[in-house]
Structure 1
Amino acid sequence: MIISGSVASLRVERDFMRARRFCLVALLAIGLSACGSPTDRGPADGVPSGSSSKGSVEKGKPERVPHDPPESFTARGAVALPPEATAGRTNLLGDVRDLAVALHRTSAYVASADRMQTVDLTTGKVVAVVRPRAEALGEGDDGTTPLVSADGSVVVTTFVVRQPGAGTQSPSTELEVVATTPETGKAAWITSLKIPRAWAEEDGSTPEAQVVGFAGGNVIVTVHTRHNAVTAGIDIATHQVRWTAQNIRTRTVTAEAAVGVDFLDGFGPDQLVGLDPSTGKEKWRAERNEGSTSVESAGPSLVRVWGWAEDSGARFDQLLKSGTGKVQADVPEGLDDVSCPFDQAKTLVCAAQTLLVALDSTSGKELWRLEDGQADGRFAPKVTASWHGRIYARASSTTAVALDARTGKDRPAGLDVAPVLVNEYQGLVLEDRQLLAYPTAG
């Protein structure tokens, strides 16, 4: 929001902002990025913003052609996302971490601790903003990624809030789960869950919340502190809490199970557990493990878990069948503490500083690997994103490359940018600590 002392000064500031945006359009068209970034904040709730549009708004929304997966992206028609998309999420090297942004068709959903903005990526307009009903807790970059249902009917995000006291009622902390209609960004429903007051006494920190997945007719959400957690299944149709699981921090959801760790009342060691996503009832429980057990998604039916075994003290790193907890495969050597995101097709892409490995998301089998210093002269590029069988990466500070996720082979030359998030209509590109949505071009 621009704040000025008079109508005249407001007009001057608006003229300046228009000139700066025009400059950014011109520079994007020739592949440069020296015009700076918009600093005005999002609009009032539900009021469209005219900022950051590089498309022809006057002539209506630009037409977009989907490419699945994209082979290239174009600066023509690029638009800037709100500054909240990267605030507090870039490091000194200019890399971005833990984006709280989701894509669906030509819309982006940008979450912060106190709001979620719906952005039309054909025009750059913020078409709607939803906020929690109570006072949001946490910093601006405490927002976690919104989640779009598989059928594209709803977008869900979470807010940790403080409810004020009234009369003899003490203030309380709650989790607000907010569902919006895609593209319009309008709130469809809100469901609240109370967070036990004892958590604050034991942890003294603001709880963290996350939308984990959709399964069994529910949206699965989890909220946790260092020593406490609860997972809930909320009926998508009725918006009511169907079940809760105390002490369970769920990390991933498949059609078969919601998988996470049981905090065991904060006294650990952790135990892996799989819950029925429809009812919240326990389906399986692994043997107790020492220390902190990590869990991440590994495709439509597998989960990856790693930690230290209680009996032997040996480290384990395995892919489990989510519905049974049975081991499908051991994760190959060299991938300790290396995340292996699912490309939403068939492949897990494991990328480290000097290593790139692809695993089959059904069998866990290693498909190929690239390491620095290979005999054939190839090296591991710096991966920025993977989606639907394509890996996008930087080969150097000035060059980008795309690889086939199943074979590891370089795709035909022509990739000019390395996006950090991709779908069939656009790739989000980080330039000067700002996210720009580049339309797909082929």
Structure 2
Amino acid sequence: MPDEVRASDVLLDGTVYYIAGNYGLEADALYGHKTVGIANATHGGNLHSPPVLAQAGGQQVVLTAVRMVIQGQGTSVDRTAVELVALSTSKGSDSWTIPIDLPQDYTGIRSLTVLGVRGTTAVIAGADADHGLVWAVDLATKKVLWTQKNFTGAQLTDDQVVGLVSPEYTKHQVSALKIADGSAAWTTEQTYDLLDTTLTPAGPNRVAIQGRSFVGFKSSAWILDSTTGKQIFEFSGGSTPFGCAYDERSVTVCADKDIAFAFDTASGKTLWRLPDDAKTRIAPRVTTAWHGVVYGTTPRGPVALNAVTGQDLPSPPTLAPLIVNTYMGIGSPDADGTALSVYPAIGF
């Protein structure tokens, strides 16, 4: 794959992989290695979101958001904007874009995420160094329905967007907005007093809020039910932020450079944790999880674990994929995740 592509830029759908970039979207076929679709942003961008799969207007599409600078004309100044770019998965030439204006105080936006689509409404989250921002966009009319400042969006539930609000610099609460109109649905009573706080998805209807406390700078995390804000369990140890991967069956595995643990997504029950209490096993560097298997690496090479039990599978893969589905995996032999290559699934 091109040198500049990272795993977060790629989405797998059957035998086609989609690559998001500052230009928009490109669809390539696993078999034949040819481009089967392109959706270009109207202006060259300088930041983009990971691609996501969604249902929109009765068809399946891949979406990305691109931040761009639109040059002024005459006496008008340049302005920063965001554009939503869509590419149909059934018709590679069927694509469209929606321009989104940025508030003047958010022109330094540093991150973009398309959280998903509910009905005909797409929800996009962005953040600058200090504040979050969420837009709801009607895909039918191609209009922005509402914008919420000071809200860091993380995940969609059935009819809500769940995110982080920070009334003070180190005071954080998890909150939810109604997708229909942006009004408040609920806010957790608990306030998390943390440094370097993040809120990230942790499986279906689960989010992880994590950060460092002021006392000893201890790292802690809480898994919450993102439909209600109810706390499922608390976790401490290791270093944050850790990342979580859902295996698309029943297990979410979370890991950082020191630890790895898995929990049943429905019940919140912890299934296993590494290193184990007896210190007989180490934690792998988890790369992804899919359909009952956790992939990762150790100093001795790639490993595959049973997602439910945490036990090593008898036949380790030759490569730990960063993304995988039934047909293909994308991975890299390099520790930093560069030089990505596409492999048939049997080739691991």
Q: Same fold (TM over 0.5)?
A: yes
Q: 1:245 aligns with which of 130, 137, 148?
A: 148
Structure 2 contact 319–333 (Cα < 8 Å) conserved: no
- Aligned partner of 1:436 in structure 2 is 341
Equivalent position amino acid for 1:110 in 2: I
Equivalent position amino acid for 1:385 in 2: T
- Does residue 302 of structure 2 align to residue 417 of structure 1? no
Give the distance between the partners of 1:241 and 1:120, measured in 2 at CA.
33
Give the distance between the partners of 1:126 and 1:159, measured in 2 at CA.
21
Equivalent position amino acid for 2:303 in 1: V
- Aligned partner of 2:137 in structure 1 is 234
Cα drift, residue 236 of structure 1: 3.7
Aligned-residue sequence identity (percent) comes to 28
Q: 2:101 aligns with which of 194, 207, 218?
A: 194
Structure 2 contact 109–126 (Cα < 8 Å) conserved: no
Give the distance between the partners of 1:307 and 1:320, measured in 2 at CA.
14
Structure 2 contact 199–209 (Cα < 8 Å) conserved: yes
* Aligned residue runs from structure 1 range 12-411, under 5 A: 81-86=1-6, 99-136=8-45, 138=46, 142-149=47-54, 153-182=60-89, 184-200=91-107, 205=108, 207-262=110-165, 269-286=171-188, 287-290=190-193, 291-307=195-211, 317-331=221-235, 333-334=237-238, 336-371=240-275, 374=278, 377-397=280-300, 399-411=301-313
More deviation, 145-154/296-305: 145-154
Structure 1 contact 120–183 (Cα < 8 Å) conserved: no
Aligned residues: 339
Structure 1 contact 289–309 (Cα < 8 Å) conserved: no
Cα drift, residue 237 of structure 1: 3.9
Whose helix fraction is larger, Structure 1's or Structure 2's?
A: 1
Cα drift, residue 167 of structure 1: 4.1
The answer to which structure, 1 or 2, has the higher relative contact order (CA under 8 A, 6+ apart) is 1
Give the root-mean-square deviation of aligned CA atoms. Answer: 3.0
Q: Which protein has the larger Cα radius of gyration, Structure 1 or Structure 2? A: 1
Give the distance between the partners of 1:394 and 1:183, measured in 2 at CA.
36
Equivalent position amino acid for 2:21 in 1: S
Give 5+ residue unaligned stretches, structure 1. Answer: 1-80, 87-97
> Normalization by structure 2: what TM-score?
0.85
Give the distance between the partners of 1:333 and 1:314, measured in 2 at CA.
8
Equivalent position amino acid for 1:331 in 2: F
Give 5+ residue unaligned stretches, structure 2. Answer: none
Equivalent position amino acid for 2:228 in 1: T
Cα drift, residue 332 of structure 1: 5.6
Structure 2 contact 220–240 (Cα < 8 Å) conserved: no
* Secondary structure of the corresponding residue to residue 243 of structure 2: coil
Structure 1 contact 107–120 (Cα < 8 Å) conserved: yes
Equivalent position amino acid for 2:340 in 1: L
Give the distance between the partners of 2:232 and 2:258, measured in 1 at CA.
27
* Secondary structure of the corresponding residue to residue 82 of structure 2: strand
